[in-house]
Amino acid sequence: MKQISRMFILVFVVCFALIYLVNYMNRSEGYSGNNTLTIYNWGDYIDPELIERFESETGIKVIYQTFDSNEAMMTKIKQGGTTFDISIPSEYALDKMKAEGLLLPIDHNQLPNLKNIDPNFLDLSFDPNNEYSIPYFWGTVGVVYNPELVGDLTFESWDDLWNEQLDNKVFLLDGAREVIGMGLNSLGYSLNDTNEEHLQEALKKLSQLTPNVKAIVGDEIKMLMANEEAAAALVWSGDAREIMDENEKLDYIVPSEGSNLWFDNIVIPSTARNIEGAHQFINFMLDPEVAAQNTDYVGYSTPNDAALELLDEEISSDERFYPDEELTSRLEVYENLGPRMLSHYNELFLEFKMHRK
């Protein structure tokens, strides 16, 4: 009988230890409970001081993880091995996540600070009535360049990137939609074009850019441009501002043919455990002082009207990053082209990259 009792106690202890271990692993992998909040965001896309402040004000511990592409983020959320309470997809990824049931609706009644968002950034086509998303940052795609190294080129047209003066002096960011989109825009086509003839034209034109392309790179493009390793680069506007903060010689422009107007948005994934905490975090980020501090740190353009008033006028009136209506009318938001066409864009981009070798 004693032996049976000892075995029972041993089994109980082992089970208890396993439960503790699983809970510990879940917490470390991002599983959240009522007192933790797991955030899945782009790298270097929030002021770390604000996370500490949120933890201090709410008592909620934040577990923070990062991704480097919308595709990687969606795959991880879809697999469900790790649960996340907050994520920040771009508009075309958000559209896809909605269609695949990967998002929870947002309760606007829990977001009194939503009133601070500029109405022009609400109720957009990719999420009518902001049922699943709240604007976080927005921006453009354009050219950052060093006037001392590009001669008389101004990049008012995309075609300046093809100028023979720029032989081996151009960086491109590593993004299929951005690079193929630039090729399409330079020909006067939409960056959401799915016409195969137009896409092949864009690919042919991009192949002619090859002698000028020094490298196709990721986040390191900011350091490389600031260190004057090239004369010009295709970049997102927020990266351009960061580069220009590091090296005041450089300038940024969106070419006249048009470009991408993008939006990143806060969402609550369908696997969220701490939905109330997620709403607390979203409302916290919508506070004017918080949003202004985050804008100063990240460098991208804020949709928060009240925060904009707190920024230095030098920043808020800079039309390179807060373009006027005339330029904005020539910008396009990426559409969700569907998995087959997005895969085709990726194939064309890969073909372009292989052509360089």
Closest CA to 272 of 89, 3, 34, 65: 34
Please state, in angstroms and rounded to a whole number, the distance separating the CA atoms of residues 140 and 259.
7
Please state, in angstroms and rounded to a whole number, the distance separating the CA atoms of residues 284 and 307.
13
DSSP reduced 3-state for 347: helix
Please state, in angstroms and rounded to a whole number, the distance separating the CA atoms of residues 323 and 317.
9
Please state, in angstroms and rounded to a whole number, the distance separating the CA atoms of residues 132 and 120.
17
Q: Which helix (H) or strand (E) holds 170?
A: strand 170-173
Given a contact cutoff of 8 angstroms between Cβ atoms, the answer to whether 192 and 335 are in contact is yes
Tell me whether residue 92 is annotated as binding.
yes
Sequence-separated (6 or more) residues with CB below 8 Å from residue 136:
88, 263, 264, 265, 266, 285, 303
3-state helix, strand, coil in the chain (%, to 5): 50, 15, 35
Closest CA to 117 of 1, 287, 258, 271: 287
CA 148 and chain centroid, separation: 30
**Secondary structure (DSSP) of 40-96:** EEETT-S-HHHHHHHHHHH-PEEEEEEESSHHHHHHHHHH-SS--SEE--BHHHHHH
Please state, in angstroms and rounded to a whole number, the distance separating the CA atoms of residues 139 and 190.
18
Residue with tokens 């201090």: 56
How far, CA to CA in Å, does 44 sit from each of 185, 294, 333, 337? Answer: 29, 11, 23, 28
Sequence-separated (6 or more) residues with CB below 8 Å from residue 256:
156, 157, 330
Binding residues: 92
Binding residues for spermidine: 92
